[in-house]
Amino acid sequence: MKKKNQKAEEKAQKLARKLAKTKVQSKAKKLKENFQKFLDKTDTACPEAVASGEDTRTSLVQSANTAAPKVLTIPTPPWASSSSRPKTNFSSTAVGTLVKTPQELARRLQREQRFKALETADHAHTGRSLVDSRAEGSTAIGTCSDLEKEYLRLTSLPDVASVRPPKVLKAALELTKKKWLDKPDYESACEQLKSIRQDLTVQYIKDELTVEVYETHARLALEMDDYCEYNRCQTVLKELYADGILGNQAEFIAYRILYALAYQENLHLELRHLPMQLRQHPFIKHALQVCKAIKARQHWRFFELFNGAPRMSPYLMDPHVKKLRDAAYSAIIKAYNAPPRLPLTFLQWQLGFSHPKHGQEDLAKFIRVQGGVVDLENGFIDVQLSRSAVIGPPRA
């Protein structure tokens, strides 16, 4: 490679000299063409030389045009301010290696300063981050007092002025709850709660307030069937409870049991890890009774429990409702014979459509889907006819 470069260099110089000498235009043109061809060839061989080669090309062509004999000098690249740049050798370093000259280092320093300027622009007033204040020994508590804050993933160290202290966070939580009750908007509530969680995390706050925030978020997630978020909150809550922080532990253990029951994930393990002192708690008792009702296929008992379910439990009992209803319907159709007609009110309670008015319409719809024969105005179902009709979707 070196030899090649040397040869190429010599040739270039030769051509340049010839070009400078000729005064005849036609000859000069021909020489220029040759020179161009030659430079194109050397482009592929020495890419680094290309950058300077181009300039050499222009300068050489220029010098050729002036027709005054000129010494071949390599012009300095335009970005170098002061140039005592070494001659770019064709035989210089291979592709990709940087030449660490003082000028190059100066240039790098300048580029760095540009990015630093961008960073400092972010921190408007103090420019102090939470980490700094913690390093200084003082407790890292934020100073922001906004009740509502947009949630953004942290890309840099959190700034003291943008993080909210616990008092503010408590008020923010209350505001979120109130807004949810007035007008349920899951996305904005989620965002606010996530930003409260973020502020708590960066300040390493793990106390009753943290538990309350996660519990609220979990409840909202359950209401909106957002099981991903719910599971995330449950994981954190499990750790917080294990650390001994007080909260509605019984309630959330009940949810864990119901969730495992609904999605058949290791229910017997949840029961194994049930703490002794909480076993008699009404929420947990309710959850256990639900488990028992499901396993014993007692639909009456299940719907009774469903109607009296505490807090968010109904949402977790929903997945069972369909299966149980189907099973209950087929049982009733099979078991009841005389009289051939059953009143819809009776079925309402058996199948969990206990809402007085539109419960009957929903029930009628359900029966029709199953292939049953129902008379809505007079309020009964014809059992015999329903039995012989095609039964709807397959039951597990």
Q: Which residues bind other proteins (CB under 8 A)?
A: 266-269, 271-272, 274, 276, 279, 291-292, 295-301, 327-328, 330-332, 334-339, 342-343, 346, 349-350, 394-396
Q: By C-beta, is 46 or 381 nearer to other proteins?
A: 381
Q: By C-beta, is 274 or 376 nearer to other proteins?
A: 274
Alpha-carbon distance of 274 to 283, in angstroms, equals: 13
Q: Give the shortest CB-290-to-other proteins separation in angstroms.
A: 11
Q: Give the shortest CB-154-to-other proteins separation in angstroms.
A: 20
Query: Is-contact 261 248, C-beta < 8 A?
Result: no
Instruction: List Cβ neighbours of 10 (8 Å cut-off, separation of 6 or more).
Output: none
Q: Measuring CA to CA, which residue among 367, 264, 256, 361 is closest to residue 312?
A: 256
Question: Nearest 5 degrees, angle CA 298-CA 302-CA 306?
Answer: 175
Instruction: Find the length of the chain.
Output: 396
Alpha-carbon distance of 260 to 270, in angstroms, equals: 8
3-state secondary structure of 380: strand
Q: Which residue has the tokens 């260099």?
A: 9
Which structure tokens are listed for 297? 């296929």
Q: Give the shortest CB-261-to-other proteins separation in angstroms.
A: 9
Q: Measuring CA to CA, which residue among 61, 75, 73, 67 is closest to residue 20?
A: 67
Q: By C-beta, is 268 or 357 nearer to other proteins?
A: 268
Q: By C-beta, is 91 or 298 nearer to other proteins?
A: 298
Q: By C-beta, is 97 or 264 nearer to other proteins?
A: 264
Q: Output b/e per residue, 331-350; b: 16+ Cβ within 10 A.
A: ebbeebeeeebbebbebbeb
Alpha-carbon distance of 27 to 24, in angstroms, equals: 6
Q: Output b/e per residue, 63-89; b: 16+ Cβ within 10 A.
A: bbeeeeebeeebeeeeeeeeeeeeebb
Q: Measuring CA to CA, which residue among 106, 49, 59 is closest to residue 81?
A: 106
Q: By C-beta, is 282 or 343 nearer to other proteins?
A: 343
Query: Is-contact 95 69, C-beta < 8 A?
Result: no
Q: Give the shortest CB-299-to-other proteins separation in angstroms.
A: 6
Q: Give the shortest CB-330-to-other proteins separation in angstroms.
A: 7
Instruction: List Cβ neighbours of 359 (8 Å cut-off, separation of 6 or more).
Output: 348, 353
Q: By C-beta, is 193 or 332 nearer to other proteins?
A: 332
Q: Give the shortest CB-8-to-other proteins separation in angstroms.
A: 58
Q: Give the shortest CB-262-to-other proteins separation in angstroms.
A: 14
Q: By C-beta, is 125 or 272 nearer to other proteins?
A: 272
Q: Give the shortest CB-134-to-other proteins separation in angstroms.
A: 18
Question: Nearest 5 degrees, angle CA 305-CA 306-CA 307?
Answer: 90
Q: Give the shortest CB-160-to-other proteins separation in angstroms.
A: 25
Q: Measuring CA to CA, which residue among 156, 160, 226 is closest to residue 193?
A: 226
Q: Which residue has the tokens 């409702």?
A: 321
Q: By C-beta, is 9 or 207 nearer to other proteins?
A: 207
Q: Give the shortest CB-222-to-other proteins separation in angstroms.
A: 23
Q: By C-beta, is 128 or 285 nearer to other proteins?
A: 285
